[in-house]
A and B are shown apart, each in its own frame.
Chain A
Amino acid sequence: MALNRDFVGRTYEASATYEVCRVKIKEFADAIGDDNPIYHDKEAAVAAGHPDVVAPPTFPIVFSLSGASEALSDPDLGLNYAMVVHGEQRFEYQRPVYPGDELLCTSTITEIRDAGRNEFLTLRSDVTSTTGELVCRTYNTIVERGGAA
């Protein structure tokens, strides 16, 4: 089923901030098989010039879709989640993400288009600190296989 183009331009704010912690960074690093001590050990991170352990570059995927998840499951959008695969992803950093960061995610559906038999939906998420500082921006394109057929 074609996705509802009326959703383009809509913006969603996460209902709560995401608090980054060392344990989650370690869990995520373990899950991607990365034993870099800068993810696991504060002393090693400090020795490398950081205030604390650092989140891996793809870590914001953990929380960056939280604001938009309600929109993606809205029956009016018409997305069949069983047919969804990931199309594109990008992380654009203003600064690294550290434990103690309280991050707010605001997501906008920037584009819905079809290509062949598939539907493509792109979300841009602005990740800001509690002081309003932009920390990173993520771009996420999901593909609904067969959605345009």
Chain B
Amino acid sequence: MAATVKYDEVEVGQEIPAVDYQVRRVNLVKYAGASGDFNPIHWNERFAKSVGLPDVIAHGMYTMAQGGRFVTDWAGDPAAVIDYGVRFSSMVVVPDDDNGATITISGLIEEKLEDKRIVVVVNARSGDSRVLSKARAVVQLS
């Protein structure tokens, strides 16, 4: 139970390279089922438009989960993420086509804390929008 990234080998200001994550309608249907969030704005275009949204939007938690995946893949251990918080600053609109939407996630090491812990800033964009803000993970390194 340990991260594969070593505390002594990272520096403040270091960037974690961007990764693209696709989100299609089927992903939202699966996420609704697994999470229990069946809000129709995440799967019903007719309903989403009736409440003033441009189209079906991704669950914020789906986007947050991609940010979590980005950090755990980098750190090498899911349990290394001991604190993870985000603000949902913009919607990820998911059109009904084969491509869906792309969420591009990158990271930056913002701070080194005591006990081999670090703060990673998670940047997430979709199209022209920043979809997460104030997104930070505290990660326990080895």
Hey, which bits of chain A sit against chain B, CB under 8 A?
24, 27-28, 30-34, 36, 38-39, 48-50, 54-58, 61-62, 81-93, 96, 139, 145
Q: Contact between A93 and B68 (Cβ–Cβ < 8 Å)? A: no
Note all chain B residues with C-beta closer than 8 A to A61. 35, 37, 61
Partner of A85, one of B47, B85, B88: B88
Please give the number of chain B residues whose Cβ is less than 8 angstroms from any Cβ of chain A in the complex: 43
Instruction: Tally inter-chain residue pairs, CB-CB below 8 A.
Output: 112
Q: Contact between B81 and A93 (Cβ–Cβ < 8 Å)? A: yes
Q: In the assembly, what is the distance between CA of A92 and CA of B137, in Å?
A: 10
| CB proximity of A13 to chain B, nearest CB, Å | 18
Note all chain A residues with C-beta closer than 8 A to B83. 90-93
Q: In the assembly, what is the distance between CA of A49 and CA of B4, in Å?
A: 12
Q: Contact between B72 and A49 (Cβ–Cβ < 8 Å)? A: no
Q: Does B7 contact A (CB under 8 A)?
A: no
Q: In the assembly, what is the distance between CA of A64 and CA of B66, in Å?
A: 19
Q: Which of B34, B36, B72, B83 counts the most chain A CB atoms within 10 A?
A: B34
Hey, which bits of chain B sit against chain A, CB under 8 A?
1-2, 21, 27, 30-31, 33-37, 39, 41, 47, 51-52, 57, 59-62, 64-66, 68-69, 71-73, 77-79, 81-88, 91, 134, 137
Note all chain B residues with C-beta closer than 8 A to A145. 51-52
Q: Contact between A87 and B30 (Cβ–Cβ < 8 Å)? A: no
| CB proximity of A143 to chain B, nearest CB, Å | 8
Q: Contact between B27 and A54 (Cβ–Cβ < 8 Å)? A: no
A–B complex contacts, Cβ < 8 Å, 14 sampled: A31-B31, A32-B31, A32-B34, A36-B72, A50-B79, A54-B79, A56-B69, A56-B72, A58-B65, A85-B88, A86-B60, A86-B88, A93-B82, A96-B78
